[in-house]
């Protein structure tokens, strides 16, 4: 009888652990990421900004012919300031989703940075 009670108790604990481990918070819902994203959206150059489920910040800007790696690094500073978990920034050309020759599914890449 003691073995059966122990087995049921262990099973119950394992079920609790498994069900609680299933609660994964989307990176978009992370409060630090949200605050950083709201601040980044205030930047005058940015037309659109989003954090993907893969925890990548995509911002679209008008293409003025310059490489935007430095701008991506600047956005990393804002992410760090807000202690966001997002560590990759990709700057894409505004309205480039319609372009069939784009470099990725989010648009033509103008610059990028790894914030780590």
Q: pLDDT band at residue 26, thresholds of 50, 70 and 90? A: low
> Residue 100 domain-assigned?
yes
> Residue 19 domain-assigned?
no
Helix axes 31-40, 69-81, angle to 10 degrees: 130
> Residue 107 domain-assigned?
yes
Report whether 99 contacts 73 (CB < 8 A). Answer: no
Who contacts 53 (Cβ-Cβ below 8 Å, separation ≥6)? 26, 27, 28
> Residue 9 domain-assigned?
no
Task: Measure the CA–CA gap between 18 and 12, rounded to whole angstroms.
Answer: 10
> Structure pTM?
0.72
Residue 107 has a pLDDT of: 82
Q: Which domain, by its residues, includes 87?
A: 25-114
In total, how many domains does the chain have? 1
Q: pLDDT band at residue 109, thresholds of 50, 70 and 90? A: very high
**Region class of 19: left (phi > 0), else alpha (psi between -120 and 50), else beta:** alpha
> Residue 20 domain-assigned?
no
Residue 98 has a pLDDT of: 58
pLDDT tens by residue, 32-62: 999 999 999 999 999 999 998 889 999 999 9
> Residue 98 domain-assigned?
yes
> Residue 110 domain-assigned?
yes
> Residue 8 domain-assigned?
no
pLDDT tens by residue, 62-105: 999 999 999 999 999 999 999 999 999 999 998 876 554 555 56
- The enclosing domain of 110 has a CATH number of 3.30.300
């Amino acid at each position: 009888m003691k073995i059966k009670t122990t087995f049921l108790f262990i099973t119950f604990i394992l079920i609790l652990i498994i069900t609680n481990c299933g609660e994964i918070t989307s990176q978009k819902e992370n409060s630090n990421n949200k605050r950083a994203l709201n601040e980044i959206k205030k930047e005058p150059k940015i037309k659109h900004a989003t954090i993907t489920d893969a925890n990548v910040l995509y911002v679209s800007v008008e293409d003025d012919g310059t490489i935007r790696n430095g701008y991506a690094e600047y956005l990393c500073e804002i992410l760090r300031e807000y202690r966001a978990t997002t560590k990759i920034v990709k700057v894409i050309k505004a309205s480039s989703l319609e372009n069939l020759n784009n470099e990725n599914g989010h648009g033509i890449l103008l610059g990028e940075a790894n914030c780590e």
